[in-house]
Amino acid sequence: MTDMQKQVQEAVDRLVESGTERGLQVAVYRKGEPVVDAVAGVADPATGRPVTSETPFFSFSIGKGVASTVAHVLVERGVFGYDTRIVELWPEFGAYGKEGATVRHALSQSVGVPGLPSGLKVEDLCDWDKMCTIIADAEPWWEPGTKIGYHAVTFGYVVGEIVRRATGKPISQVLREEVAGPLGVADELFFAVPKPEQGRLARLEDAPIPPEMAAAMAEMPEDSPILKVGPAECTTAAYGNRADVLSANIPAGGTVTARAVARMYAALLVEVDGIRLISPERLREVSAVAMTGIDEIFGFPTSWGLGYSIGQFLSNAHETRHVFGVGGVGGSHAYADTATGTTFALTKNRLTTGFETAEQVAGIITKAVADS
């Protein structure tokens, strides 16, 4: 056991023993090789089933990084380009002045369609054609490419429909054929999870909301953009445990193991067991800032590359421009660090309000890498 593996294992054991977390996985790759694979706690409190390295977790927006990776593999193959106009693949998307929108705009959170109509139900999110019709026919909140705002739910449909129109296949199939299968993790990296596989998944639970956050949410104005990006249930454990949600293609979120998503990011940086997903030149392009500004949804400064947030965590994002990845509701996180050749993924089933657990574990890894 390496020193880093030992330190991380001790940290995740403490998090579970203290009651902070219920079950979690941490995986780290360095220069294409696995160096940490740590698990702790239970996947399903009702049965006591333990977390293993093979337990998939519905991990919310970690899936955005996976969907983006699928798009980059197709760009690498010449199926479409970043400056391909979306209407060339999906003509209906051009409604209300969106005809100039490009794949680059979609990946960089600047395409201008972050909102969804009020009254949508979770069942509607499971209907691919219905959602793509709604988004194609949406009036943009801004001219594509001129502002940035987190497309919390719509991101997955826009990227996924670009992929589907270009290949004739749902993004879940392209993920399996082009990314997960070649990397040997086809049963650990999913969008639509086949029904027979769902019994393997971790069960999510909601952590209590801190009083100060509950108060802030209660005072949020009715016209806040945050309330217009999708049904409120989309951030809950109940949502991530629903069989219909897990079975559907909703690529704003994804179901992953930590080791599978860390392996995927590693194969963006370097060759992993003979597989490199994109060229070094493309890596430089996708991990560079493509769009930056004040987020139109959340109101804080943000920077995105092509499909990945740039900067490790909000508290030190300006210091970590060499880090790209996406975290998810509830505190899961996954990223790659081009400076050290390290990739990191943390999945967990207790949905907390911030990234404290991921920051704590990532800090151990950052220090261990620096010391080595």
3-class secondary structure, 158 = helix
pLDDT value of residue 229: 83
8 Å CB contact between 323 and 335: yes
Question: Count of domains in the chain?
Answer: 1
In the chain, the N- to C-terminal Cα span, in Å, equals: 15
pLDDT value of residue 309: 96
Residue labelled with tokens 């890894």? 365
**Is residue 274 classed exposed, middle or buried when 0-12, 13-18 and 19+ CB atoms within 10 A define those classes?**
exposed
Q: How far apart are CA 268 and CA 202, in angstroms?
A: 27
Query: What per-residue string of b and e applies to 153-174 under the rule 16 or more CB within 10 Å gives b?
Result: bbbbbbbbbbbbbbbeebbbbb
**Which pLDDT tens digits describe the chain residue by residue (372 residues)?**
789 999 999 999 999 999 999 999 999 999 999 999 999 999 999 999 999 999 999 999 999 999 999 999 999 999 999 999 999 999 999 999 999 999 999 999 999 999 999 999 999 999 999 999 999 999 999 999 999 999 999 999 999 999 999 999 999 999 999 999 999 999 999 999 999 999 999 999 999 888 877 777 777 777 777 778 888 899 999 999 999 999 999 999 999 999 999 999 999 999 999 999 999 999 999 999 999 999 999 999 999 999 999 986 655 555 678 999 999 999 999 999 999 999 999 999 999 988 999 999 999 999 999 888
Whether the CA torsion 232, 236, 240, 244 is positive or negative: it is: negative
pTM exceeds cut of 0.85: yes
pLDDT value of residue 312: 63
Q: How far apart are CA 62 and CA 335, in angstroms?
A: 9
CATH number at residue 358: 3.40.710.10
pLDDT value of residue 372: 82
pLDDT value of residue 320: 77
**Is residue 321 classed exposed, middle or buried when 0-12, 13-18 and 19+ CB atoms within 10 A define those classes?**
middle
pLDDT value of residue 313: 62
Within 13 A of 161's CA, how many CA atoms are on the CB side? Answer: 24
Whether the CA torsion 53, 59, 64, 70 is positive or negative: it is: positive
Q: How far apart are CA 307 and CA 155, in angstroms?
A: 9
pLDDT value of residue 2: 84
Range of the domain at 299: 3-371
Question: In degrees rounded to 5, what are phi and psi of residue 362?
Answer: -60, -35
